[in-house]
Amino acid sequence: MHGLGNDFVIIDARREPFSPTAAQAQRIADRHRGVGFDQLILIEPPRSREAAAFLRFLNSDGSESGACGNGTRCLGWLLMTEAGTDKITLESRGGLLPCELLADGRVRVDMGEARLDWKDVPLAEERDTLHLGIEAGELKDPVGLSMGNPHAVFFVEDAEEVDLESLGPELEHHSLFPERANIGVASLIGKDALRLRVWERGAGITLACGSGACAAAVAACRRGLTNRKVAITVDGSLDEETGEDLEIEWRKSDGHVLMTGPYALGFQGLLAPSLLGELE
């Protein structure tokens, strides 16, 4: 499946446990010799009575991620369709994730509360998360927060012009981020509208990043650039046939972030045993 080009291999491990090693995840992620993905998503039995399933997210380098907004939206549709309902609650390491299928066909996910304290990002030392004070090249002074993953959002005049392929890895591994960080570059393109590009930790530049879009919307509101409801244009939004903006709302009542957008099912199939090797 994919959400605006942010693509996933999804494996149902509810009945038969499946726990790939980092090396196995990397083999599946190989776009030439495997299947290819930005994230591998495992559907596991729920750990909470309130949830229908537990989601685990692995990046293309085999590392585990705490959240994946586009992936959760895709899984929300998949499991709502399976259950014959228009509402479902999923869970991940980041907590419960209520999902809703809207009348227009999009899926809305409650991504939970934006975490703004430096310990929650987490940072290696106490800093004002509204002004982290780090820089690389033309990127300076990001906003830091966690949306289940650590994020640093830089505001620039033109996100298209930033050499994110070079600066992203450097900033992902900055000493301020003990768990590494997703690096977003955002520019204001209209009233309550942002253009966003993201270097995802463990995956590199992706066509869309749901948690990154949530982080950018919260960061823009905190900086006074937008209101609490923002349209986010990502790389995947630029596709003339299937692209559209993500709609992000940072709810004032409880600090939760709501993400609304599309989903797409590419194909279903079986992984060859030779691709997986021996399971632990």
Catalytic status, residue 74? no
Residue 153's pLDDT is 98
Q: Is the peptide bond before 169 cis (omega within 30 degrees of 0)?
A: no
- DSSP code, position 256: E
Catalytic residue among 74, 99, 209, 221: 209
Please say whether the beta carbons of 231 and 247 come within 8 A.
yes
Residue 280's pLDDT is 43
Residue 243's pLDDT is 83
Catalytic status, residue 99? no
Residue 272's pLDDT is 87
* Whole-angstrom Cα Rg for the chain: 18
- pLDDT tens per residue across all 280 residues of the chain: 999 999 999 999 999 999 999 999 999 999 999 999 999 999 999 999 999 999 999 999 999 998 899 999 999 999 999 999 999 999 999 899 999 999 999 999 999 999 999 999 999 999 999 999 999 999 999 999 999 999 999 999 999 999 999 999 999 999 999 999 999 999 999 999 999 999 999 999 999 999 999 999 999 999 999 999 999 999 999 987 778 999 999 999 999 999 999 999 999 999 888 888 754 4
C-alpha 112/C-alpha 119 separation (Å) is: 17
Residue 278's pLDDT is 58
